[in-house]
Amino acid sequence: MTDIKSKSEDRALYPSIMPYETGFLDVGDGHRLYWEVSGNRHGIPVVFLHGGPGSGTHAWQRTFFDPEKYRIILFDQRGCGQSTPHARLEYNTTAHLVSDMELLRVHLGVEQWTVFGGSWGSTLALAYADIHSHRVSALVMYGIFLARKSELHDLYYSGGIVSKIFSDVFEPYIKMLPPEKRAEPIDGYKDLFHSPDLPTRMKALDLWTRLEKRISRLVVTEDELQKAMSDPQEVLAHSLIENHYFLHHGFVNGDELLRTLGSKLVKIPVHIVQGRYDMVCPVTTAFELHRAIPTSQLSIVEDVGHSAQEPKLQRQLVDVMDELARTLEAG
């Protein structure tokens, strides 16, 4: 079922809350994950999967969920946010993250949880559900991304959607690379990120991050862009980890997930929310996922892009979570 949304009114998130429990979980390989729990101690467990990969969690992400209904679980994936060691790429793959989620679920005593993720978080949500569908009570995703070659091409390569729509932003990004590296920019930026020259590394980190941040919303002012890039440690982890994952197509087979998930998730509520003008993760992937999971609900939100900080997208996600709480409580 497809639901095309075009409402003009904005829906506020729930009020800010503080976690009542936090900790660090040793997941092996030298990695420790930061985790937190807020909301209702006895509520519906929901785990939030942040994007990037490498972005880390933020306090505002707790506010998608009714704190009287949900037991809200956030954690920073390997190498980012408050997890340690910072920006570490070793032992950092999707298989590791899926295993980490299971360790965290057991640690927190959760039998089943609703899995909520956007952008890269949707990729991880699908990879987790592919293996542990019996632990998923519902799946809610936005900005769908499967890390396939075509999707990465649209974002990072000459001739892709971004190079055509945001040529002014794309040009300095691609020209940072030597001519012989421009045909494979993800690999080229890996070299720049590990350059022995500090100014080269810093400029590469800035341009890589600036490209994604600039295209994440319909309108981004320079002040908003600078604010989004104001934390150098977050920029470092985001860029290094994202580049590492994208060199390996997210360590997932997106086409295989599309082939297998329909049968595995047939009895699980699946909600897909997608911005019509998402340039980071264009709508075509969300539509493919919806077709692959015929029982899923697809909501295309007009007049928004990729960012979950856009009010109309937030409103739709909150509406989905409110309705889902009623469904899950009803049994």
CA dihedral 123, 237, 72, 254 (to 10 degrees): 0
| 96 assigned to active site | no
| 231 assigned to active site | no
User: Is the peptide bond preceding residue 53 cis, with omega within 30 degrees of 0?
Assistant: yes
Active-site annotation holder among 83, 119, 299, 307 = 119
Take residue 276 and report the two structure tokens written for it. Answer: 């019509």
For residues 217 and 301, give the distance between their C-alpha atoms in angstroms, rounded to a whole number. Answer: 13
How does DSSP assign 258-327, residue by residue?
HHHHHHHTTTS-EEEEEETT-SSS-HHHHHHHHHHSTT-EEEEETT--S-TTSHHHHHHHHHHHHHHHHH
Active-site annotation holder among 50, 122, 306, 307 = 306
Active-site annotation holder among 76, 100, 154, 278 = 278
| 58 assigned to active site | no
For residues 142 and 125, give the distance between their C-alpha atoms in angstroms, rounded to a whole number. Answer: 11
For residues 232 and 235, give the distance between their C-alpha atoms in angstroms, rounded to a whole number. Answer: 5
For residues 308 and 119, give the distance between their C-alpha atoms in angstroms, rounded to a whole number. Answer: 9
Q: How far is CA 133 from CA 27, 74, 139, 256, 312, in A?
A: 21, 20, 10, 16, 30
CA 123 from chain center: how many Å?
7
Q: How far is CA 260 from CA 154, 227, 257, 292, 313, in A?
A: 25, 40, 5, 8, 28
Active centre residues (catalytic):
119, 278, 306
